[in-house]
Copies of this chain bind each other. A is one copy, B any other.
Amino acid sequence: MIDRSHGGNIWKYPKSSRRIIVDFSVNTNLLGMAQKIKNSIVRNVSKIGYYPDPESKYLKNSLAKLHRLSSHNFLVGNGSIELIHLIPRALKAKVVLVPIPTFSEYEFAVRANNAKCLFVKSTEKNNFKIDISRLMQHIPKADLVFLCNPNNPTGSALERQEILSLLKTCKKCNVTLVIDEAFMDFVDQKNRIAMDVESAKTKNLLVLRSLTKFFVLPGIRIGYVIGHKDTINKLARHTYPWNVNTIAQIIAQEAVNDKEYIARTQSIIPAEKRYLYDNLNKIRGVRVYPSSANFFLCKLKDVRIKNAANLSEKLIERGILIRNCDNFRGLNDRFFRIAVKNREANIKLISALRDILE
């Protein structure tokens, strides 16, 4: 039995304990859901009595405006995870290249379609940065590549030149490159290498985006894929009507236009990231890896603690959830992931870790 669990699953804890939990296991924006969005849902409750726009046409128009592309470059999904499962199926992939450690659902999506995964492992000594030249060597054997940039759970990001080389090799070998940019909006502006515009021009490049993480909407399910019109059409043939619910369609359009929330997030995160990184670094029992995203991969160095599961248990007793990474292929039972939260929560975590490890 494979452990397919993810972060952010408050449902596995008893109801009585849910209130006190500070959830570092979920990689969402530390600001929480915007009040504007909550108000909009309340205002639009009656719309649940109507079928959604069957193919999310209105939302696609909004996304097109946002990315300065055309609405035919978009397909909207019931969370980007629906699209992760749809892409290998629609493109009839047989062998899929997956650099690991990474988000585990790429593997599950591939296997549900009876296709094979080819894993290329990043090394700890290289801070788990994806080795592009090694990855490229394997491309001729594959027909699809899943690349998470910045990568979950490692936080490592690729440079423009690396992505372009990879894309060039993919083109030559007729391989589709899928870049999952779920955490791209959290990257500092100067290091943000988004491939949205490129994907609209390139038949074998797809870019996945999620509104879950940045706008804190995991409960309502909304993600999308950007690509060339022909590739998007191929994918669309495998969807069903009304896959995106009415509330998701309405609030997604409001969220992406909330310039104030976007700016506030991008101004607050660097300081909190820096604070968390510096303080995690000072704890002798923990190794923290550099990250371009809003979370950190950590390794438990303190040998007195059996493993990350054990550390998680000790933190739960203190009302803190972290993401034990022992079910990530390519990591072992000493790794865990921590999301950047607000100062108060970050202080609580640092102090609890110190308590346990020092």
Contacts and interface: CB of A to CB of B under 8 A. Distances in A.
Interface of A: 4-6, 8-11, 26, 28, 32-33, 37-38, 41-42, 45-54, 57-58, 78-79, 81-82, 84-85, 105, 108-109, 112, 216-221, 237-238, 240-243, 245-248
A225 to B, nearest CB: 14
9 contacts: A8-B50, A38-B45, A47-B219, A52-B221, A78-B221, A79-B240, A105-B240, A221-B242, A245-B245
Nearest to A18: B50
Contact of A240 (B9, B37, B48, B82): B82
Nearest to A90: B112
Contacts of A218: 48-52, 242, 246
Given A52-B221, A78-B78, A82-B243, 16 more contacts: A4-B241, A6-B54, A6-B241, A9-B51, A9-B53, A26-B51, A37-B48, A42-B45, A51-B218, A51-B219, A78-B243, A78-B245, A79-B240, A81-B240, A109-B240, A220-B246
A105 B78 CA distance: 18
Contacts of A81: 240-242
Contact of A6 (B11, B51, B219): B51
A33 B57 contact: no
- Tell me the interface secondary structure of chain A in the complex: loop
Contacts of A242: 79, 81, 218, 221
- Chain B CB count within 10 A is highest, among A26, A28, A245, for A245
A194 to B, nearest CB: 25
Nearest to A25: B51
Nearest to A245: B221
* In the complex, the 5 A-B pairs of residues with the closest C-beta atoms, listed nearest first: A219-B246, A48-B219, A11-B53, A51-B218, A8-B51
A319 to B, nearest CB: 16
Contact of A33 (B8, B11, B49): B49
A126 to B, nearest CB: 30
A267 to B, nearest CB: 21
Nearest to A42: B42
A219 B49 CA distance: 6
A54 B79 CA distance: 12
A105 B241 contact: yes
A274 to B, nearest CB: 25
A28 B11 contact: no
